Every structure is written in C-alpha cells, then in structure tokens.
Amino acid sequence: MKLAILDDYAGVALSSAEWHTLEGVADIVVFREHMPLDQAVTRLAGFDVLCAMRERMPLSAELFAALPKLKLVTIVGKSLANLDIAAATANGVALVHPAEDLNEPQRDRFVHATPELAWGLVLSVARNIPIEDRNLRRGGWQSRTGMMLAGHTLGLLGLGNTGRIVARYGQAFGMKVIAWSQNLSVERATAAGVAAVDRASLFADSDILSIHLQLSERTRHLVGAKEIALMKRDAILVNTSRGAIVDEAALVAALEEGRLGGAGLDVFETEPIPADHPLLRLPKVTLTPHVGYSTPQILASFYRDMPEAIVAYARDAPIRVLNPIALKHPKHARKCR
C-alpha cells in the first residue's frame, strides 16, 4: 500500500511510532507542509492510506470524492470538526481511531499542555514580551509598561479540565478568578475556587479573558462584537480552544480601534492563518500556530498506535473502525499487500 503521513509540521512522526513494522506492508511518504484541497487532490491521488493529525487537514467530501484509491484514514479523536464521516463512508473509506490506553498519570500530565501555552500567551501579552524582544534586538530599550497580574481579574469562558488548570495558574499569580459557561453550576465553580458569574459580567469584569470551550454550533462566534464591546479597553483576550469561537472580524476591529488591550491567539478561523490576515500586522497581539497540544509526548501518543492499526487492516485482522459499513465497499475486496 502507499501510505501518506499528513501535516507532520515538526518532523516528528517517524520517530514517534514503530513505523518499521510496516516494512513489506506499506511505502511511507511524509508530508510536512499543509496542503490546500487542490494540492491534496493532486499529490495524494495514488495513496491507499492517509494518517491524519487531528484537524490539520480537512477530511471533506470533496477530498474523499477526488481520491478513488483511498481505502483507509487513521484519525486522532472520534469526533473531528473537519471530518465528513458520511462522505468517507459513501466513498468506501474506513476511518480508524487507534486505541487510546493512556494511564491516569499520562492523561493528567498531557492535559497541562494547552493550559501552559495559554498562560504563556497571557504573560506574553500582559508584559509585552514579544514586542520588547523585537525592540531590544533592533537596538532599542524599554518602550512601554505592562500589566501586573496580581490583583486583577481572570475570566474563564469555560471551566472544564483545561479551564480549571488555568484557574489555578491565575490563583497562584494572585488573581481573582471568575467563570461562565452555558452549563456551569455554582457548585462546580466553588469547588475550583472560582466565582460563577453571568455572561455579561464575565466580559465586563475580566482583565484577562481566556477561552476554554469546545467548538459547536452553540459556541461558534460566541465571542462577537457585542461581547467584545462589553470588555474593558485594556483587557486581553486569549484563545487556545478553537478559532471560530471568536468572531475574528469583530476582534480585529476592536484591536485596530483601540477598544481592546491585546490578544493572545493559538487558534484561528482559517488554519494555517492566511499570509495577508490583519491579525499578523497588529502590534499588541501574540500569535502561535495552533501548538497547544504540540509536545513530543502528546504527538507520540497520537502516532503510536497507527502502524499497528494499518498492519491489522492489511492482514484482515480486527480493527476499530468508526464506520464499519465502509468496509463493505468493493474497494476493500482486494487489498494491496
């Protein structure tokens, strides 16, 4: 089989799993750069298997229809916003979600990756770290003042696993922590040492507002022009969840007009972010390229079981397929060995 490992941005895929077990089963090609749909259709035309990393490559109906040889896609996560399961099934593409057998200590350790990045963005924007770094390298010296976090209010839009960790960071820095989400109870907030507030108060009272929600139809553009207008003029917005939770046009307008103090963003409505996006030219904005989960340990846990699943498919052994009806498609009757 011809196998493509997609979007290996950091070049760690081959060292993160035992791909040697596929010797004699599959020829592996690694793609490190992101491919738009038109490029993907051409460059992936002859492949039988794709190994996708979370939501980096849109697995759309257009892609599945354009790759008639494609039989198998390994994915990370059972429910991905960029995955059209119905289209995969209709085109006979089996979707494999490799086993996740992380023990409790591993899960506890991995859940800190995104909160740590979120707090890095908080500090970067509050203390102007990227701006002062660039200024210093150009021969300058101190150019502006920063926000001291102690005594200020950290607002959390969402108080799940990630939000609770970020709450502890804020408390360690001497901040008052408040939170709101559609399902947040006073009891749950109190247990985390956080004050539950209403939606308007969250935006109005936060000096730092950090987003920790899953993207859904309920949360898409949940932070829009109306919500941003409630925020303080020197407040900072941080988003490490999903870009579409924030209305980027409204955010850009507020930043350009000086109605918001700054932003720290790891996620964007379109990824990779377009080269001409206005966020890239705004000074009081710190941007990272969706690296909240991008650590060697986490990526290795994602890649680890992919080779085993592909070998099992090639040898007609049992595998966990999200859409088992796809295996009844004629293209699976004869496999390339």
Q: How many CA atoms lie within 13 A of 9 on its CB side?
A: 17
Q: Are 238 and 210 in contact (CB under 8 A)?
A: yes
Say if residue 297's pLDDT is above 50.
Answer: yes
pLDDT confidence of 7, banded at 50, 70, 90?
very high
Residue 14 included in any domain: yes
> Is the domain of 19 the same as that of 115?
no
Q: Which of 54, 164, 242, 248 is catalytic?
A: 242
pLDDT confidence of 291, banded at 50, 70, 90?
very high
Tell me the two tokens of residue 111: 């859940």
For residues 301, 168, 150 and 129, what is the CA-based torsion angle, rounded to 10 degrees?
0
> Is the domain of 118 the same as that of 136?
yes
Instruction: Look at residue 50 and give its three-state secondary structure.
Output: strand
Residue 300 included in any domain: no
> Is the domain of 151 the same as that of 10?
no
Segment holding 73, helix H or strand E: strand 72-74
> Is the domain of 154 the same as that of 282?
yes
User: What is the C-alpha to C-alpha distance for residues 25 and 298, in angstroms, rounded to an integer?
Assistant: 26
271 carries an active-site annotation: yes
Q: In what order do the strands lie in the sheet with 176-180?
A: 195-196, 176-180, 153-157, 208-211, 236-239, 262-265, 285-287
Residue 293 included in any domain: no
77-91, 173-187, 298-312, range with the lowest pLDDT: 77-91
User: What is the C-alpha to C-alpha distance for residues 98 and 34, in angstroms, rounded to an integer?
Assistant: 23
Angle between helices 113-126 and 129-137 (to 10 degrees): 60
> Is the domain of 213 the same as that of 327?
no
* Total domains, the chain: 2
> Is the domain of 131 the same as that of 57?
no
Residue 48 included in any domain: yes
Give the chain's mean pLDDT: 94
Residue 158 included in any domain: yes
Domain that holds residue 48: 2-100+305-332
Question: What's the pLDDT tens digit per position in 219-264?
Answer: 999 999 999 999 999 999 999 999 999 999 999 999 999 999 999 9
Question: What's the pLDDT tens digit per position in 48-72?
Answer: 999 999 989 999 999 999 999 999 9
| Res 105: pLDDT | 52
Say if residue 336's pLDDT is above 60.
Answer: no
Residue 298 included in any domain: no
**Tally of CB atoms within 10 A around 292:** 19
269 carries an active-site annotation: no
**What Cα–Cα distance (Å) separates residue 226 from each residue in 165, 208, 238?**
28, 17, 17
| Res 292: pLDDT | 95
Percentage of the chain exceeding pLDDT 90: 90
| Res 99: pLDDT | 60
290 carries an active-site annotation: yes
Question: What's the pLDDT tens digit per position in 182-212?
Answer: 999 999 999 999 999 999 999 999 999 999 9
Q: Which of 54, 152, 212, 290 is catalytic?
A: 290
Q: Are 149 and 173 in contact (CB under 8 A)?
A: yes
Instruction: Look at residue 236 and give its three-state secondary structure.
Output: strand
| Res 98: pLDDT | 73
> Is the domain of 262 the same as that of 321?
no
> Is the domain of 54 the same as that of 111?
no
Residue 337 included in any domain: no
> Is the domain of 90 the same as that of 118?
no
What's the DSSP call for residue 273? P
Question: What's the pLDDT tens digit per position in 79-116?
Answer: 788 899 999 999 999 999 876 554 545 556 689 999 99
Residue 299 included in any domain: no
| Res 109: pLDDT | 66
Sign of CA dihedral 266, 268, 273, 279: negative
> Is the domain of 223 the same as that of 271?
yes
Segment holding 162, helix H or strand E: helix 161-172
Percentage of the chain exceeding pLDDT 70: 96
Question: What's the pLDDT tens digit per position in 141-155?
Answer: 999 999 999 999 999
| Res 335: pLDDT | 53
The CATH number linked to 210 is 3.40.50.720
> Is the domain of 44 the same as that of 179?
no
Long-range pairs for 129-134 at CB < 8 Å and ≥24 separation?
A: 129/286, 130/286, 131/283, 131/284
pLDDT confidence of 334, banded at 50, 70, 90?
low
Say if residue 312's pLDDT is above 70.
Answer: yes
Q: Which of 116, 132, 269, 271 is catalytic?
A: 271
> Is the domain of 93 the same as that of 115?
no
Segment holding 167, helix H or strand E: helix 161-172
